[in-house]
Every structure is written in C-alpha cells, then in structure tokens.
Amino acid sequence: MNKPERFSPNSQEAKDIAYHLHPYTNPAQLAEQGPMILNKGKGVYVYDSEGRDYIEGMAGLWCASFGFSEKELVKAATQQMEELPYYHSFTAKTHNPAINLAEKLISVAPEGLEKVFFCNSGSEANDTAIKMVWYYHAAIGKPEKRKIISRKGGYHGVTLAASSLTGLAYVQQGFSLPLDFAKHTTSPNYFQESHDGESEADFVKRCMNDLEDMIAEEGADTIGAFIAEPLMGAGGVIIPPEGYYDALQPILKKHDILLISDEVICGFGRTGNMWGSTTFGLKPDILTCAKALSAAYLPISGVLVTDQIADGMAIQAEKLGQFGHGYTYSAHPVPAAVALRTLELMEERNIIEHVRSLAPLFAERVARLGEYASVGHSRSIGLIGAIEFVAKPDTRIKLDPKLKTAARVMKMIQDAGVIVRALPIDGIAFCPPLIITADEINIMFDRIESVMPEVDKLVASLA
C-alpha cells in the first residue's frame, strides 16, 4: 500500500501503515490519515506522540479500570516475572498466582459459581463457555442441546464461535458467519425496538413471546444455553427495561436452558456492583469475565461455572481420560498475579463505593447531553453510559448509516481532548476508568459539551 507523502518514509506513521494490520479499522482511511500514536499514560489521561493529552473516556476498550499508571500492578507483574515468568496449567500443574486468583475470584463471584477456568480474552472465555455447554450436555446424555440463543445487537467476541453469537453485522460480514448453532432473538433495546405507544412492560412481554416462539420452533431439546450481557455494551450500552430478566430467567429454567452471563464489560464494578449480574438480578450457570479482571494491564479472562456444571464436566473427562481443552497461557502466572492484585486493590481502595458515589454526577452529565437537539436518547448506570443521535429532535428517526454520523462526532470529541467510542446504533459510549474523580468527570464532559453545538449543526445538515 502506498504511503501518503505527508508521512516521511521512516516515520512511525509510515511504518505502521506499511506493516501493521489493525482491528476494526478501514485500511484505506488509515493509509490516508495515519494512525493515532499513544505513547504515555497517567491516571485517566493518555498522551499522543505530539504530547497532547486526552481523557480516556472509554478506559481503552471498556477495560482499564485503574487508568494508565497504577504502580501496584506494575510491581505485581515485575515481582512475578522475577520469580516465575511463565508456567502452564496443563496435566495437573499449577502455581501460586493461579491458585490464589482462583480462590479470590470465586470468593467475590455471584452465589452458586464455584470453579473458574482461565483464558486470555473475552472472546476466548465465551468460546470456552460454548464448548463447556456442549461438553456438559453430552456428559448428562443430552448431546443434541447444542444451539445457543443470543440477542440481536449483543457482543460476545470475534472468534469463530463467539462472533457467531455476536449479533452485529460488522463482525460477521465477509466471514461466512454466523455458524448455524447460533440463534438471535429480540434485542432489549426499548428506545429503538418498542412499538409506538408500547409500554416497557408490554415490550418485555413481547420480547419474551419472541423468545418462547423461537424455543418452540427450534425445539427446547436442541437448545443448550442463552447468553446475555447484563447490559449490552458494544451494541449500544443498552440497559434492559425493568422486569426483563425477571421474566427471562423462569423461561430458561422451564426449558432446561443454561444461562451464560457475559460480564466481560460489566464485571468488576462498572455498574456499581462487583457484577452486572448482581445489578440486574441474574443468577447465571456460567459467567465469563475479562477486561477489568487485570485492569487490562495484562491479558487474562475467566469462565466461572456452578458445581453442577463442573461435576458434569468431570464425569465426561473421567470417561474420556481428560478435559481436552486449554490454552498455552491459561492462568499464566504474570497476568494472574496482576489480576489478583487488581482484586485486592478494588477492596483496599473501596472502588465499588467510589463508583457508586460518582454515579449520580456521571448520570447528570450524560443526561445533560440528552438535552441537545441531535440527541434522541441518553442513558447510564454506574460509570457507563451513552447518547444516541437522531435525525429530528424528539423522534426515533435515524440518520442514514452511510453518513457515519457517530464516527464523525467521535472525531470531533477526540479533537476536544476526550477519547470515546462510536456505537453501531449511531451513538457515543462513555466508560472512563473507575478511578476517575468528580473533577475529571466534569472536565471530560465539559470538553464533550464544548463541541455539542457543532454536533447539532452537523446532524441538522445531514438529516
């Protein structure tokens, strides 16, 4: 690919364009505009190659809960590197960081989850959960229960199996996905999916009717699990309407369908509780977590299961001679040590109480953005929120997706000194590090509000 003339041949920008394949990036746009190079972080701020500061309003990718300069996590990694820089957990081998992290994680897990399997990313965790569902059902004599129901707009990763469960077209287009085990039911997005005049209660009822119809059509004896993010993150920060999960869980129980709670974004304090499952009243059979498990300082994820599932898998493994699944870096000692220290710091610094104390201010500032003409809906819980753009004020009418309105607004906000995320529902997400202060929340939203009049003009011109 030709390098634009404005980048000198030996510049970092030119090298990146020449050699680096980026995820979720338009290659032609990258070649034209060049990458944004970030080389330093401090607290909730990151700094680009020219020294400009940005509040990282997305905690990276919903993950850097302790910001970008936590010395205790660097120390934990360094000490472990000096003691045992690598070992695996295959064939009954282990090490202290894995043992201690497993114990700690289960001690703070939702009630009923008793064992954890370690992976390296949220995608791997959800892939592993899929295989565990299949393995468990085969163990109890129900190998035909292989289908897994997800939701339109949900995000569960990008491996072959996980991206099949993800209900977003951009993850599947061009890859011949989804695979046929994945089924997608109605999104709990009340703002966009409700009928005119439909109450939240009636919308919930319709979602459940759609689910019951799918189960009847597919056959309950072929469905192994239902996977749900407590709130849908990358699909739009969709907060389900009141009563949604209270209605959902009895249906799954009635049809002997396991519940997988995807806590990759929601876990570890983001919604004001340790788990999104607690916030929304979920009682999962399987829970997947990643991202803030290590505050994103090193890759690690986990799949937590009930004793019922662990015991069933153990029976199958005994029959077959072993549990034939694992990764070279499962429970890698260095990420495990960092994750353990992260959980300790959450307790030592009362991070969840900190989130709860800031949630009202955060909600107030998100709601203020909802007063602009271009914003049709605003929402937040804990320290995660979003705004959604509309073509006409006080309507649900959307702009043409080809206009890429959210991406344009994201760039405008970035130029004002805040990094945010464009959402597929034509909106912007906010998910700052959990250590953010009240003053920093105000600085973040002041910078965002400084461009909102121009955003209103942009949207009006595109409508």
- In the predicted structure, residue 1 carries a pLDDT above the cut 50: no
The mean pLDDT of 436-450, rounded to a whole number, is: 98
Taken in order of first residue, the domains within the chain and their CATH numbers are 36-69+350-462 (3.90.1150.10), 72-348 (3.40.640.10)
What are the tens digits of pLDDT across the range 331-370?
999 999 999 999 999 999 999 999 999 999 999 999 999 9
Does the pLDDT value for residue 2 go beyond 60? no
pLDDT at position 7: 87
Distance (Å, whole) CA 88 – CA 7: 43
Q: How confident is the model at residue 6 (pLDDT cuts 50, 70, 90)?
A: confident
Average pLDDT over residues 420-437: 97
SS3 labels along the chain: CCCCCCCCCCCHHHHHHHHCCCCCCCHHHHHHHCCCCEEEEECCEEEECCCCEEEECCHHHHCCCCCCCCHHHHHHHHHHHHHCCCCCCCCCCCCHHHHHHHHHHHHHCCCCEEEEEEECCHHHHHHHHHHHHHHHHHHCCCCCCCEEEEECCCCCCCCHHHHHHCCCHHHHCCCCCCCCCEEEECCCCHHHHCCCCCCHHHHHHHHHHHHHHHHHHHCHHHEEEEEECCCECCCCCECCCCCHHHHHHHHHHHCCCEEEEECCCCCCCCCCCCCHHHHHCCCCCEEEECHHHHCCCCCCEEEEEEHHHHHHHHHHHHHHCCCCCCCCCCCCHHHHHHHHHHHHHHHHCCHHHHHHHHHHHHHHHHHHHCCCCCEEEEEEECCEEEEEECCCCCCCCCCCHHHCHHHHHHHHHHHCCEECEEECCCEEEECCCCCCCHHHHHHHHHHHHCCHHHHHHHHHHHC
Condensed to tens digits (0 to 9), the pLDDT of residues 366-395 reads 999 999 999 999 999 999 999 999 999 999
* pLDDT attached to residue 3: 45
At 5 the pLDDT is: 60
